[in-house]
Amino acid sequence: MLEVSNLACSRGDHRLFSGLGFALSPGQIMQVQGENGSGKTSLLRTLCGFIQPDEGRIAWEGKDVGELAEAYFSRVLYLGHLNAIKDELSALENLKISAAVSGMELGESAAISALRRMGLKGRERLPVKVLSQGQRRRAALARLLVSDAALWILDEPLAALDVNAVSLIEELFGEHLARQGMVIFTTHQPLLVAGAETICLSLSAP
Amino acid sequence: MNKILWLFFVVVRRDLILAMRRRADVLTTLIFFVMVVSLFPLGVGPEPEMLRKMAPGVLWVSALLASMLSLGRLFSADHLDGTLEQMLLAPQPLSVVVLGKMVAHWMVSGLPLVLMTPVLGLQFDMPLEAVGVLMLSLLLGTPVLSMIGAIGAALTLGLRGGGVLLSLLVLPLCIPVLIFGTGAVGAATSGMGFSSHLSLLGALLVLAVAFTPWVAAQALRISME
């Protein structure tokens, strides 16, 4: 359970949002909405602990995330604007290494089947730099399939994806929520998860 | 404990694989080192006595400059493609990741310089014993350069023109290493004991291993905001 109370965040002298509060329980999904520059990415990065909030408290299962630190990080999967994949490595190597960094040993066959489900069949061992933008995004999103994190924080996960991939992501969200997972995401495209109601959080540009 | 060690080896292995896929970067450092060292005999003339005397200093200063070359990429490449953010979310302390990156950086840009030293020592007509001491001092000293450099690289992450700033920050901090490193060779050639210099270098290395990963990790968190 993630609880946020009275959160305020600014970049430079510019106050992005203040007095923000919400709670997310297992099995819930939340979409952060707002115009460009309203602080969606900053909010997500604050929730990951990259940015220290000016005010307010972020609590995971009742404890402050600043104190939990690594214990909280192990429960979080973050995917930002950047794909966090290395151009020189293959999709397979990228997936195995990022799983290893997040503390999980991932077998070859599990990694390959995750990449195949993401529609990268036959391209698992190619260097990522020869893949298209959408395929790179798919390779990055394959982490969703192998992670055991409870809280997914996704910044524009649908960027560069085609229609089939979008419906696959909707399917993955549904599975994750059914496992009592939590999702926080931003998007400018319509995204519907069957069997779950999306909570909306609006950030209004000041 | 096992998980910490595991993460350490994962990071070292990852950075070594990446370095092997981008061999040009590794070779640049080594070739720069060889070129700078080779320019000195051409510039100051072929008197063996003078060359022997200046050899340790030239090799050490060149190693120092060569290690600056690759420092800028230590974190910035991972910063640009977002993999550094993922490392910040690793379920083990960030210092472990940073130490892994430092060790991989040394293996790629420090160790080759140490191995190249005997060949370059020939150009300066260095006695065999002095070459041995020089290699030992570089072996103890170059990891310290990588570690101190990592702090500078973390602090200047994402800055424009960070490369110059990085050198200005890091080079003064490397002076003790340079003094003890060249001092060891000087003492060996003049027949005095060189073990005290090497012990001091060793002490610097131990201090660096103990503190620099933590400092660089804090600097990274600040730079990533």
What is the CB neighbour count within 10 angstroms for residue B172?
A: 9
Give the confidence band of B162 by pLDDT, cuts at 50, 70, 90: confident
Domain map (residue ranges) of chain A: 1-75+149-206, 85-146
Read off the tokens for A89.
Answer: 């490595």
Question: What percentage of chain A has pLDDT greater than the value 90?
Answer: 55
Read off the tokens for B66.
Answer: 């060569």
Q: Which residues are paired to A15 by β-bridges?
A: A10
Read off the tokens for A204.
Answer: 């209004």
Is residue A92 within a helix (H) or strand (E), and if so which, with residue range? helix A91-101
A205 inside 8 A of chain B by CB: no
Mean pLDDT of chain A: 90
The complex's ipTM works out to 0.89
Whether B16 shows a pLDDT value over 60: the answer reads: yes
pLDDT at position B174: 93
Question: Searching chain A, which residue's CA lies closest to the CA of residue B88?
Answer: A50
Q: CA–CA separation, B86 vs A85, rounded Å? A: 10
- Name residue B137's amino acid: S
CB contact under 8 A, B10 and A100: yes
Higher pLDDT, B216 or A18: B216
Question: What percentage of chain A has pLDDT greater than the value 70?
Answer: 99
Taking the CA of residue B64 and the nearest CA in chain A, the distance in Å comes to 28
pLDDT at position B1: 66
Q: CA–CA separation, A138 vs A122, rounded Å? A: 14
Is A181:A27 a contact under the CB 8 Å cutoff?
A: yes
Nearest to A184 by CA among A164, A142, A204, A156: A156
Fold of A1-75+149-206: Rossmann fold (3.40.50)
Mean pLDDT of chain B: 92
Exposure b/e, B31-41, CB count within 10 A at least 16 = b: ebbbebbeebb
Give the confidence band of A205 by pLDDT, cuts at 50, 70, 90: low
Whether A194 shows a pLDDT value over 80: the answer reads: no
Whether A195 shows a pLDDT value over 80: the answer reads: no
SS3 label, residue A79? strand
pLDDT at position A143: 92
pLDDT at position B158: 83
Residues of B with Cβ-Cβ distance to A83 under 8 angstroms: 81-82
CB contact under 8 A, A86 and B81: yes
Q: What is the pTM of this model?
A: 0.92
A76: Cα within 13 Å, side-chain hemisphere: 32
Average pLDDT of B158-175? 88
Q: CA–CA separation, A152 vs A184, rounded Å? A: 6
Q: CA–CA separation, A39 vs A58, rounded Å? A: 17
Q: Which residues are paired to B152 by β-bridges?
A: none
Find tokens 């959080």 and name the residue: A201
Whether B220 shows a pLDDT value over 90: the answer reads: yes
Is A172:A144 a contact under the CB 8 Å cutoff?
A: yes
A142 inside 8 A of chain B by CB: no
